[in-house]
C-alpha cells in the first residue's frame, strides 16, 4: 500500500472518531516518520520551531491515533501500528486492491503477536519500548562531524536493540554503516594488537565491498597503530563520500586483554581527536558499546570513555512497564500489575519482557510468576544461573554481593567490586553506596551465598 493510500485511511478514521482529518503539520510529521527524520529536521525544513512539533503537534496527533487504534502510538511504533491496523481493520472497508495489500511487509502481521523475547528486538517490532529522549539525542549526535557515542549498560538491558535503530536511522540518512561485534572475534586475535587491527580493517573493507589491500598499507617499521590509521585515512575514508558509522559492540571483550586495551582504546580516542584537525576524519562517527567498566589503568587523555556523548541505559520505570504490558495485550490500566512486577524485577528490560510474554500467553498468572520467579527452574533460570556462574568464579565479588544482600540499607564497598557488581546489574548505586537491584536477586542469591559461607 502506498503512503497516500494509507493516509487516506487514517484521515477517514480520524474523521469518524474525532470529526477532523490530519492537518498540514500532522501530515508533515507522519511523512517525516516514514522518512526516518527527527522532529528538529521536520520542523526546521517546514519553518516551525522544533519545540512546537515535539511538545504540541506530535503528542496531540499520537493521542488521537492511540484512541483510534486502541494501542499507545509513539514516533517509533507509529509506522508498524498504522500499517497493521490498516490491514486488519480499515482495509476491508476501503475495498483495497490485492496488489495494495501485497505492498505491506510480511513482517507486520508476524510481529503484532509476541515472539519469545530473546536477544535484540527486531526493527519493525511493536514490542520495542522506545527511549525517545535518548534516541533523539543520539540521532542528532551522529550527524555531527567526527562524533563519538559510547553506550553502556549491563547485559540484556537493550543496548543491541538500540544499536539496531541507530544504524537503521543512519542508513536512511544515506550514511555508510559498519557493525562489528567483538563477541565474534577469536581469543587469539583479541590477545594480539596487530591481528586485532588487521581484523578490524579487513572486516570494514569487506562490509564496504572493497578489496582488503592490507599488505599495501601495513608497515612493520611504522607499527600496527600507525598502519591502521593510515589505512583508515588514505584507503577507507578517502573512498567514500558520505559519513561512515562504525559500530563496535561488546568492546568490553577487549578489557580482558589489558595490554591490547592499553593500545586499542587510545587509538579510538586519537581518531576522534583527529577529526578536530583533519576534515577527512570528520567522516568517521564512532559508536562504542560495552557492558562493563574499564578496569585497566588509562591516562585520562588516552581513554575514549571520557569523551564524546555518554549514553547510560537504565531500567524501565513503572509507566514504561505499564505501556509495554499494553503492547502485550494485558489490561494493566490500574498500574497494580506493573507495580507488583517492578517490585520483583526492578524494571530490568529483559526480565520484564520475559514476564509479559508468559503472562500474555496465559501460561501463568502474575501471582504464580511472582511466587516462583526466584527459583532455578522457572522463567528466569538462565539469567540467574549466568550471574551465579560469574559469582562462583570470583569469591571476593560473591562475598561483596552477599554483604549487600544482607544489609538493611545502602552500604559502601571497594570501588572495583562496586563497579563490577554494578556493571553486572546486580546492584544499583545511591551516590557511591550500593543496594541490591531487585527483590529477585535478593531471594535467589542470598540462600546460595549463605551456603557457600557455611561450606567454606
Are residues 200 and 237 both part of a single domain? yes
H-helix or E-strand containing 309? strand 309-312
List Cα–Cα distances, 21 to 10, 14, 26, in angstroms. Answer: 8, 5, 9
Are residues 366 and 386 both part of a single domain? no
Dihedral angle, C-alpha 118, 122, 125, 127, nearest 10 °:
40
Query: Would you tell me how many other CB atoms lie within 10 Å of the CB of residue 379?
Result: 17
- The pLDDT tens digits of the residues spanning 284-310 come to 999 999 886 555 555 556 667 778 999
Q: Residue 398: which of 417, 414, 382 has the closest Cα?
A: 417
Residue 126 lies in a domain: no
Are residues 21 and 91 both part of a single domain? yes
Q: Which residues contact 10 (CB under 8 A, 6 or more apart)?
A: 22, 30, 65, 82, 86
Which grid coordinates are listed for 1?
500500500
Identify the pLDDT of residue 90. 43
Residue 119 lies in a domain: no
- Site of grid cell 506493573: 338
Residue 410 lies in a domain: yes
Are residues 284 and 426 both part of a single domain? no
pTM: 0.74
Are residues 308 and 326 both part of a single domain? no
Of 294, 312, 330, which residue sits at a domain end?
A: 312
Are residues 308 and 322 both part of a single domain? no
Which grid coordinates are listed for 123?
526493527
Residue 125 lies in a domain: no
Query: Would you tell me how many other CB atoms lie within 10 Å of the CB of residue 46?
Result: 14
List Cα–Cα distances, 253 to 32, 176, 192, 262, 289, in angstroms. Answer: 38, 25, 13, 13, 11
Strands 427-430 and 433-436: antiparallel
Are residues 217 and 339 both part of a single domain? no
pLDDT above 90: percentage of residues in the chain = 54
- The pLDDT tens digits of the residues spanning 240-266 come to 999 999 999 999 899 889 899 999 999
Which grid coordinates are listed for 6?
494509507
Are residues 269 and 150 both part of a single domain? yes
Are residues 258 and 391 both part of a single domain? no
The string of DSSP letters for 26-87 reads: HHHHHHHHHTT--HHHHHHHHT--HHHIIIIIHHHHHHHHHHHHSS---TTTHHHHHHHHII
List Cα–Cα distances, 366 to 352, 363, 380, in angstroms. Answer: 12, 10, 14
Are residues 179 and 211 both part of a single domain? yes
- The pLDDT tens digits of the residues spanning 346-396 come to 999 999 999 999 999 998 999 999 999 998 778 999 999 999 999 999 999
Are residues 275 and 140 both part of a single domain? yes
| Number of domains making up the chain | 4
| Average pLDDT of every residue of the chain | 86
- The pLDDT tens digits of the residues spanning 183-206 come to 999 999 999 999 999 999 999 999
Residue 118 lies in a domain: no
Residue 124 lies in a domain: no
> What pLDDT band is residue 330 in, cutting at 50, 70 and 90?
very high
Residue 160 has pLDDT above 80, yes or no: yes
Identify the pLDDT of residue 303. 66
Residue 117 lies in a domain: no
Higher pLDDT, 36 or 98: 36
Are residues 187 and 299 both part of a single domain? yes
Cα gap 249→251, rounded to integer Å: 6
- The pLDDT tens digits of the residues spanning 39-95 come to 877 877 777 777 788 888 888 888 888 888 888 888 878 877 787 776 655 444 433
CATH number where 262 lies? 3.40.50.300
Show the domain range for 208: 132-312
Amino acid at each position: 500500500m502506498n503512503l497516500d493510500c494509507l493516509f487516506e485511511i487514517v484521515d477517514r478514521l480520524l474523521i469518524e472518531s474525532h470529526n477532523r482529518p490530519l492537518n498540514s503539520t500532522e501530515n508533515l510529521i507522519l511523512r517525516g516518520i516514514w522518512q526516518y527524520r527527527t522532529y528538529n529536521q521536520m520542523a526546521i525544513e517546514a519553518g516551525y520551531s522544533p519545540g512546537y512539533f515535539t511538545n504540541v503537534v506530535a503528542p496531540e496527533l499520537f493521542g488521537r491515533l492511540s484512541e483510534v487504534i486502541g494501542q499507545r502510538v509513539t514516533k517509533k511504533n507509529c509506522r508498524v501500528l498504522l500499517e497493521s491496523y490498516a490491514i486488519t481493520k480499515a482495509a476491508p472497508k476501503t475495498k483495497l486492491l490485492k496488489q495494495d495489500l501485497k505492498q505491506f511487509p510480511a513482517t507486520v502481521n508476524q510481529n503484532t503477536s509476541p515472539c519469545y523475547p530473546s536477544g535484540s528486538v527486531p526493527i519493525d517490532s511493536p514490542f520495542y519500548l522506545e527511549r525517545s529522549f535518548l534516541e533523539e539525542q543520539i540521532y542528532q549526535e551522529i550527524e555531527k562531524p567526527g562524533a563519538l557515542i559510547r553506550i553502556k549498560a549491563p547485559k540484556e538491558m537493550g543496548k543491541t536493540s538500540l544499536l539496531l535503530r541507530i544504524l537503521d536511522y543512519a542508513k536512511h540518512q544515506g550514511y555508510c554503516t559498519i557493525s562489528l561485534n567483538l563477541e565474534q572475534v577469536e581469543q587469539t586475535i583479541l590477545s594480539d594488537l596487530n591481528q586485532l587491527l588487521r581484523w578490524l580493517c579487513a572486516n570494514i573493507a569487506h562490509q564496504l565491498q572493497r578489496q582488503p589491500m592490507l599488505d599495501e598499507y601495513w608497515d612493520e617499521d611504522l607499527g600496527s597503530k600507525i598502519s591502521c590509521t593510515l589505512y583508515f585515512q588514505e584507503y577507507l575514508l578517502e573512498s567514500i563520500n558520505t559519513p561512515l558509522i562504525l559500530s563496535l559492540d561488546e568492546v568490553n571483550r577487549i578489557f580482558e586483554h589489558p595490554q591490547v586495551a592499553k593500545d586499542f582504546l587510545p587509538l579510538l580516542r586519537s581518531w576522534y581527536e583527529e577529526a578536530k584537525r583533519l576534515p577527512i576524519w570528520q567522516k568517521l562517527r564512532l559508536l562504542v558499546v560495552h557492558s562493563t567498566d574499564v578496569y585497566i589503568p588509562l591516562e585520562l587523555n588516552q581513554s575514549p570513555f571520557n569523551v564524546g556523548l555518554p549514553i547510560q541505559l537504565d531500567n524501565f520505570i513503572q509507566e514504561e512497564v505499564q505501556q509495554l504490558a499494553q503492547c502485550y495485550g494485558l489490561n494493566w490500566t490500574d498500574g497494580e500489575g506493573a507495580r507488583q512486577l517492578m517490585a520483583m524485577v526492578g524494571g530490568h528490560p529483559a526480565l520484564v519482557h520475559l514476564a509479559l510474554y508468559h503472562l500474555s500467553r496465559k501460561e501463568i498468572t502474575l501471582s504464580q510468576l511472582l511466587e516462583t520467579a526466584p527459583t532455578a527452574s522457572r522463567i528466569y533460570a538462565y539469567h540467574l544461573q549466568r550471574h551465579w556462574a560469574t559469582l562462583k568464579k570470583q569469591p571476593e565479588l560473591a562475598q561483596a554481593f552477599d554483604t549487600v544482600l544482607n544489609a538493611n540499607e545502602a552500604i559502601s564497598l571497594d570501588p572495583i567490586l562496586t563497579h563490577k557488581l554494578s556493571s553486572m546489574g546486580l546492584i544499583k548505586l545511591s551516590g557511591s553506596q550500593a543496594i541490591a537491584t531487585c527483590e529477585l536477586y535478593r531471594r535467589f542469591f542470598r540462600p546460595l551465598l549463605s551456603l557457600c559461607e557455611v561450606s567454606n
